[in-house]
Amino acid sequence: MLYTLANSSWLDTFSPQAQKSAIDALEGGQVIYLPQLAFEFSAAEKELLTPRILGEGSKNISYNPTRKTLKGVINLEKDTHCLKKMMARYSSVSDNLLNALFSRYAGSLMKGRTSFRPIEIAGRATSLLKDDTRLHVDAFPATPNHGKRIIRVFTNVNPVGKGRIWHLGEPFEQVVEQFLPLLRKPLAGMRRLLFWCKVTKTYRTLYDHYMLMLHDEMKKDAFYQRRVKKTVVDFQPGTTWIVMTDSVSHAALSGQFVLEYTSYLPPHAMANVEQSPLFILEQALGQKLIDS
């Protein structure tokens, strides 16, 4: 489940063999674990380690690297400026790490958002489908990704020694086999209607439709959540981990103060495209899922 690297600097370089082994592990559904890679805060940034900086109704703070804007934060000019600089720095070092460790992907990785999660996830009031303490694979209702892989970098920055506790579930192929009978075809015209009505930011492909159904059916199935084999992982403060969250069945059970960076990768840039959710779902369903 975990592929461990001893690196302790965000600026490290990696040999070709180290990169190949890491890519094989990542694409094979393992979590790249860096137990010595911490993200350091300045004295001013340490003042941000409080849930009070969250805006009303927000569960995390999001940084858009393209627009250089924050979402989900209360409007305090001094804190907002400091937070933006900190999250931009995390975005930058995470992007550098991915390009160094997976240079095969260079030129294909697409930068996504960075999030700061300052509230305790255990006991958080939320809807069933937004409950990330249930095993799931990532798929987004409003932002279709058209088959691109979702690569996420996480760092536990908890200041009082509390771990981020995860469950890791069964391989993606087994998840698909379990829920395949429940993956219904979309209603005719529905995906275009969602786009025209701006419910989705882009057109929802068949791939996005089935991935979202898979995400939802996993979370809704209480019996599956109880019986499926799980591995408990405790990510301690000062540790970093990298995972393809669209294929790795995962759940965050508890923990507070985590930074997360998202990057996207077209399947064709993978070393083994047959391990992509797109390929696996197309084989299972017997049809192409990236439509026009």
Alpha-carbon gap, residue 84 to 40, rounded angstroms: 15
Which pLDDT band holds residue 76 (cuts at 50, 70, 90)? low
Q: Please write the tens of the pLDDT for every residue from 251-290.
A: 999 999 999 999 999 999 999 999 999 999 999 999 999 9
Mean confidence (pLDDT) of the chain: 95
What's the CATH architecture for 2-124+135-284?
Answer: Sandwich (2.60)
Element (H, E) at 285: helix 277-285
Mean pLDDT, range 38-53, rounded to an integer: 93
List the chain domain ranges.
2-124+135-284
pLDDT digits (tens, 9 = 90+) for 234-246: 999 999 999 999 9
Phi/psi of residue 79, each to 5°?
-65, -40
Contact status, residue 181 vs residue 94, Cβ threshold 8 Å: no
Q: How far apart are CA 16 and CA 35, in angstroms?
A: 22
The average pLDDT across 152-165 equals 97
Report whether pLDDT(77) > 80: no
User: Residue 224 above 60 pLDDT?
Assistant: yes
d(CA 156, CA 239): 6
Residue 92 has pLDDT above 60, yes or no: yes
DSSP 124-164: ----GGG-TTS-B----SSS--TT-EEEEEEEE--TT---E
Give pLDDT tens digits for 106-138: 999 999 999 999 999 998 888 999 999 999 999
pLDDT tens-digit map of 169-186: 999 999 999 999 999 999
